[in-house]
Chain A
Amino acid sequence: MNNRSVQYTVSRGLLFLITFLLFFFAAGCRTQEKQTALILYNENDPFIYTFARQLEDLTSDIPNYQLETIDSQNSQILQNEQIEEMAAKGRDLLIINPVDRLGSYSIVKKMKDQEMPIIFFNREPLIEDLKLWDKAYYVGARAEQSGQLQAELIMELFGNDPNQLNQYDRNGDNIIQVVILKGEQGHQDAEIRTVEVVRAFRDRGFELEILITEVANWNQVQAFEKMEQILKTFGGSMEVLLSNNDAMAIGALDRMRLEEVFSDTNGNDRIDPLDDDWLPVVGIDGLSEAVKEIEQGYLYGTVLNDSLTQAKAIVELSEYILEMRRLDGMSFEIIDDKYIWIDYKVFTLD
């Protein structure tokens, strides 16, 4: 072997070695990638759909953060199977939107056994269940706040003075006649929103007359149908329509347009609160259809479940968990080492 070919062999060997090491390094990096599963109760829920996309967008630029989105199709049994599968595959973190609040109990116990951290969102597990496992967290909005904000919107519209209501107190009796469209009977959020909106009025000294609390199961069509009878019975006396969510508010508005409740009395070519027979309707959630209704002047306002901020909180929390950092360093306040509460936002035309 001459000198040249020795050099050649050595350089080739070195090249091979470097490639080999690079390959291993790359493979090593891959295994360091954090695997997170996002398990949704039902992707057909528009709020959940938007929320999932926001989460995916936020995590897409984070290096070594792999997010897998799974839809439980509104079945706790399916969700359990999915969680079982994820536990078997070994994920670094599960972000779960439970189908059944009480189903979280078994999930928390199982995840504790697997030493897998969990972040719940959208449906709050019982606090006693959440406390079973140190690394179980909840990110969400306080349901009671949405009702309070709804009440504040209306109180502001009525002039903010419980003793002197303005022109929106149509019959001038200084009492606000309300119709409430309630979500699913027994549903935690429906109960809380209904109770809290009423409580907020009363706490501020406003007198309220609840004409009827109608259950429309969160559903636009049911609200549309039930509104027919409500308008017949209370059409003349109703001063405010409070809906537990936007979908039911839109259903009610559909019926009210059909019954020609609204008309452009001041002739400015649009429906707005200045029209004489205009009636305030408020929802909760901030759906894009609701925003459209607000822009057109039919819906007075909505309370926004701030999904983007929630998504940001979840992403930040998950990064802290995966990197094992102290949670009190986060930009979001963590309460009891378990909860991050995101405020609702009010959305009106102005």
Chain B
Amino acid sequence: MRNLSIGQNILIAILGIVFFMLLVTGVIFYTTFSQRTDTLVESQSREINKQIVLNYEGYINSVIETANYVQYASLNLDVNSAASELQNIYLINSEIKRDVVSIFLFDSHGVQILGDPVRDSRRDGIARESWFTSALAENSIFHFSTDNSQSISADNDEQVISVSRSVKYTDTADNKNGVILIELNFRTITDLAEKTNLGPDGHILILNDDDSLIYSSGNYDQLRSRESIQIAVQNYFGGFPAEIDNKVMHMNITPLSQTRWRIVTVNDVDEVAQAKRRMLLVLGLIFIVSGLVAAAAAVAISRRISSPMKLLRISMANIEKGDFYTKVSVSGQREVVHLAASFNSMIDTIRSLMEKIVEEQRDKRKTELRALQNQINPHFLYNTLDSIVWLAESNRTDDVITTVVALAKFFRISISRGETFIPAADELSHIRNYLTIQQIRYQEKFTYAFEIDDEINEYKVMKLILQPIVENAIYHGIGDEQEKITIRGYKENSLLIFEVENTGYGVTDERISEMYRILDGTHEVNSVGIRNVYQRLKLYYGAEGNIIITSKLDELTNIKLIIPIEVPVELPADKEIDV
């Protein structure tokens, strides 16, 4: 995080917040929705199941009431003496109840006593029919059987449910055991089941106590409902979600009272599950879309904040490179604009401070320069006046005149109305005057020559720059043999080169390096001379101004002065220079 830019930080923060909020609200929303639909589905399925079971119970109860009534009548009326009355009760009850196919009373051996005529094929086997045997085996309950689904009545072919129970009846004032059989129309069960809406693939199953299928609604046959039956068998009773045929269903199993049957309702709630899935999809889409929108917004905001910053940073980099003159112009957030303005004013201050420092440095240099220029003159003046005195004593009038005239010219150029820079021609004539004076003084112990390109005459050079070098050449060159001093001036590219060459012994390399050290100021000596020139060159011309010393032993010494043609800074004219 620490290495990230402001923009990236903003992006991450915004995206983080947005995704977090979306995730939290999404999860809460979905779980609430899902829980609510689940409870709704569950309670609805339960209600439907309850309703169906209540319908069946109501139906079963009405059947049992009929059975009880018939049984009560059989006990109170004698089957022998009131046979026709009882037979009427049996027939009327099966007549008026649409769902009751027929009612029979059999004695404990399976011989019919009352009811519709029994079909011949079944008459002799009554005692072996399952409804009969089970009624005798457990006499306290009603037995519901679907084993032999065809009615035993001779007048009827309908599919029936056999409801049987062991009963007591009165036969010639004697209580006897018998079995009552009520045959119910199977269609009634079907009708009760088909009124309910359980969804496209929802269905009702009725299971016997041995878990065999008594009835299944819709087009769910034994094979197709196998999966539902299996789940129902494993779960006995209760409500729970189940997956049947790869569809989400809600199953409710309820035992049907008075029987040991179980009613299984399978509610097809796949649409609800699909709605949940769709909801999840929509939430996902919302998540992605708002994530993208948030990302775009975050990018825009971070750009708006960071781009002026970037501009500022580029400007700062420019300033690092030394450009103090371009102003930073930034538009955007108030803070950044303020920052830019403060930065601009800071740069202004720095620049003016720098300019001030430059000016101070220049003034300082000027003062130093003047001091250096002023150093030259007293020695020379003293020597020259000394030699004029000497010439006058020797009556060498012409030489006196020549010397004095040269001296006068020499000083005029030295002063040069306070100019620091003078044309090269003036500087050279200054040297000529100097050499004239020195030649007289040293009594023709040296000769000199000028080799000057005329094109350099007009270039301005720092004044009094050649004289100390020539002076040096004279002092070091004068020996037993007459020496020759050659002064050259020419232009080489953008440089003016002046050479002062004198014949003589020359100097050793050690001496040359010692001289360079003197120029640098690392070797302290009393003499000013060349070092003075060197310092002035460096002061004014910087790195480009230089002095190069070369020598050929027993032959010559050459000092080359290198001056750039362009003077970097024009110094203001001095009002006066005291010499």
Contact = CB atoms under 8 A, between A and B. Distances in A.
Interface of A: 76-77, 80-81, 83-84, 87, 99-103, 105-107, 109-110, 113, 126, 128-129, 185-186, 188, 191-192, 195, 213, 215
B75 A106 contact: no
Contact of A213 (B64, B76, B237): B76
Contacts of B467: none
A186 B259 contact: no
Contacts, number: 70
B367 interface: no
Contacts of B67: 186
A188 B255 CA distance: 20
A191 B50 CA distance: 30
Given A77-B53, A106-B237, A186-B64, A126 B259 contact: no
A99 B53 CA distance: 15
A109 B71 contact: no
Interface string B128-140: 0000000000101
Contacts of A99: 257
Contact of B257 (A81, A103, A213, A215): A103
Contacts of A84: 237-239
B258 A100 contact: yes
B254 interface: yes
Nearest to B260: A105
Nearest to B255: A106
Contacts of A192: 140
B68 interface: yes
B257 A100 contact: yes
Given A84-B237, A185-B68, A186-B64, A191 B140 contact: yes
Contacts of B165: 186
B141 A77 contact: no
A103 B57 CA distance: 12
Interface string B48-86: 001001100000000010011101100110000000000
Given A110-B235, A186-B71, 19 more contacts: A76-B255, A76-B257, A77-B50, A77-B254, A80-B254, A84-B238, A87-B238, A100-B258, A105-B255, A105-B260, A106-B237, A110-B236, A110-B237, A126-B141, A129-B260, A185-B68, A186-B67, A188-B140, A215-B72
Nearest to A103: B255
Given A84-B237, A99-B257, A77 B68 contact: no
B566 interface: no
Interface of B: 46, 50, 53-54, 64, 67-69, 71-72, 75-76, 138, 140-142, 165, 168, 209, 234-239, 254-255, 257-260, 262
A113 B253 CA distance: 15
Which of A83, A106, A215 has the largest number of chain B CB atoms within 10 A?
A: A106
A125 B216 CA distance: 28
21 contacts: A76-B255, A77-B50, A77-B53, A77-B254, A80-B237, A81-B238, A83-B237, A84-B237, A99-B257, A100-B255, A101-B141, A102-B257, A110-B236, A126-B140, A128-B138, A185-B68, A185-B71, A186-B67, A186-B68, A213-B75, A215-B72
Nearest to A189: B140
Contacts of A213: 75-76
Nearest to A212: B76
A102 B254 CA distance: 12
Nearest to B262: A106
A252 to B, nearest CB: 19
Main secondary structure of the interface of B (DSSP, over half): mixed
Contacts of A129: 260
A259 B68 CA distance: 31
A109 to B, nearest CB: 5
A88 to B, nearest CB: 8
Contact of A80 (B72, B234, B238): B238
Contacts of B76: 213
Contacts of B237: 80, 83-84, 106-107, 110
A106 B255 CA distance: 7
A186 B64 CA distance: 8
A84 B251 CA distance: 14
Given A84-B238, A84-B239, A188-B140, A102 B255 contact: yes
Contacts of A100: 255, 257-258
Nearest to A128: B138
A107 B53 CA distance: 17
A129 B68 CA distance: 24
A21 B140 CA distance: 58
Contacts of A185: 68-69, 71-72
Nearest to B76: A213
Which one of B75, B168, B238, B258 has the highest number of Cβ atoms from chain A below 10 Å of its Cβ?
Answer: B238
Sorted nearest first, the 10 A-B pairs with minimum C-beta distance are A110-B236, A100-B257, A84-B238, A185-B68, A106-B255, A186-B68, A105-B260, A76-B257, A188-B140, A109-B236
A133 B75 CA distance: 38
Given A106-B237, A109-B236, A80 B140 contact: no
A91 B339 CA distance: 74
A198 B69 CA distance: 21
Nearest to A124: B140
A138 B268 CA distance: 40
A102 B262 contact: no
B234 to A, nearest CB: 8
A77 B54 contact: yes
A185 B70 CA distance: 11
Contacts of B53: 77
B236 A113 contact: yes
A237 B209 CA distance: 49
Contacts of B50: 77
Contacts of B260: 102, 105-106, 129
Given A77-B254, A185-B72, A188-B140, A102 B259 contact: yes
A76 to B, nearest CB: 5
A335 to B, nearest CB: 19
A41 to B, nearest CB: 11
A103 B255 CA distance: 6
B48 to A, nearest CB: 12
Contacts of B46: 81
A255 B226 CA distance: 59
A15 to B, nearest CB: 41
A77 B48 CA distance: 12
B154 to A, nearest CB: 28
B345 to A, nearest CB: 59
A107 B54 CA distance: 19
Contacts of B209: 105
A188 B258 CA distance: 12
Contacts of B141: 101-102, 126, 188
A185 B259 CA distance: 17
A255 to B, nearest CB: 21
Q: Taking each of B50, B54, B142, which has the highest tally of chain A beta carbons within 10 Å of its own beta carbon?
A: B50
A349 B445 CA distance: 179
Contacts of A215: 72
A188 to B, nearest CB: 5
Contacts of A186: 64, 67-68, 71, 142, 165
Most B C-beta atoms less than 10 A away, residue of A80, A107, A110, A192: A80
Given A185-B72, A186-B67, A191-B140, A106 B236 contact: yes
Nearest to B234: A113
A87 B68 CA distance: 36
B255 A80 contact: yes
Contacts of B235: 110
Nearest to B166: A191
A227 B109 CA distance: 38
A99 B57 CA distance: 13
A60 to B, nearest CB: 31
A99 B298 CA distance: 67
